[in-house]
Amino acid sequence: MEQDRGNLTVSYRLKEIIFSEKSTFQHVMIADSYDFGRMLILDGVVQTTALDGHIYNEMISHVPLFLHKNPEKVLIIGGGDCGAAKEVTKHSVKEVHMVEIDELVVTACSKLLPEVSGNLSDPRVSFIFADGIEFAKNAELEYDVIIVDSSDPEGPAEQLFEIEFYQHLKNALKDDGILVCQSQSPLFQPNITRKTFNSFQELFAYADVYYAVVPTYPGGFWSFTIGSKSPFAISNDPLPDLGTKYFNKEIMINSFQLPEFLSEKIKY
């Protein structure tokens, strides 16, 4: 299978197609590959894999949750593979709202991609199958942490990278709330990463970018942008063991130390 992303083409050797169906919104596929294991593919674009999906999901979830002093109520926009929700439930949060527009993605991943979804079944998680943009408009001062786990900024998902959407999410945060979103490859899409960071700087008193290395994604480097209404800092206390495979305190600290060439692309 070949995946064309602009000037870059990535190839994956597949063993078999496990699931393939068209939903109201997109084509949903679960395939088994030779090197990455099972993978979720939406409209021909690989979203997550059994091999390294935990890296992305741990970093988009645990970083904001550990930066918040007492996260109790969490909103996830997107995240249909259930990986972020699975990581959030490792914390002592009280309530998780997962807003995903495509129910078929959740159904397929929860059954056929357990390496990522963990066969998620937790009473604290409420699945809301709706448009995340419309949902965000109606929430106010409600959430401690909001995680935007979106697909690439194309088609309907393009609006998930606009400042108007982030403004609605800011309104949905409590006064000490934290917002985080994936902000694409700083190597191949630095304009998107920079635009997202600039939007967060405009909206929030505190904003920053951190990164992880996710082999599935083009270039390996993947960025996350984080914003807060109030100061946040990494505690000196040791972090509890959550059984993560990639994330730990040292990774969390160092993920904010961008290589010089990334800082130049994003922040200057």
* Active site members: 149
Residue 222 is given by DSSP the state: E
H or E stretch covering 8 = strand 8-11
Beta partners for residue 99, in sequence order? 77, 128
| Measured distance CA(149)–CA(120) in Å, rounded | 17
* Residues 114-119: contacts with CB under 8 Å, at least 24 apart: 115/37, 115/38, 115/50, 115/53, 116/40, 116/48, 116/49, 116/50, 116/53, 116/54, 116/57, 116/81, 116/82, 116/83, 116/86, 117/81, 117/82, 117/83, 117/86, 118/82, 118/83, 118/86
Contact yes or no for 77/149 (Cβ under 8 A): yes
Tokens 């959407």 appear where? 165
| Measured distance CA(4)–CA(80) in Å, rounded | 22
| Measured distance CA(137)–CA(40) in Å, rounded | 29
Nearest CA to 263 among 221, 224, 209, 204? 209
25: exposed, middle or buried (Cβ count in 10 Å: 0-12, 13-18, 19+): middle
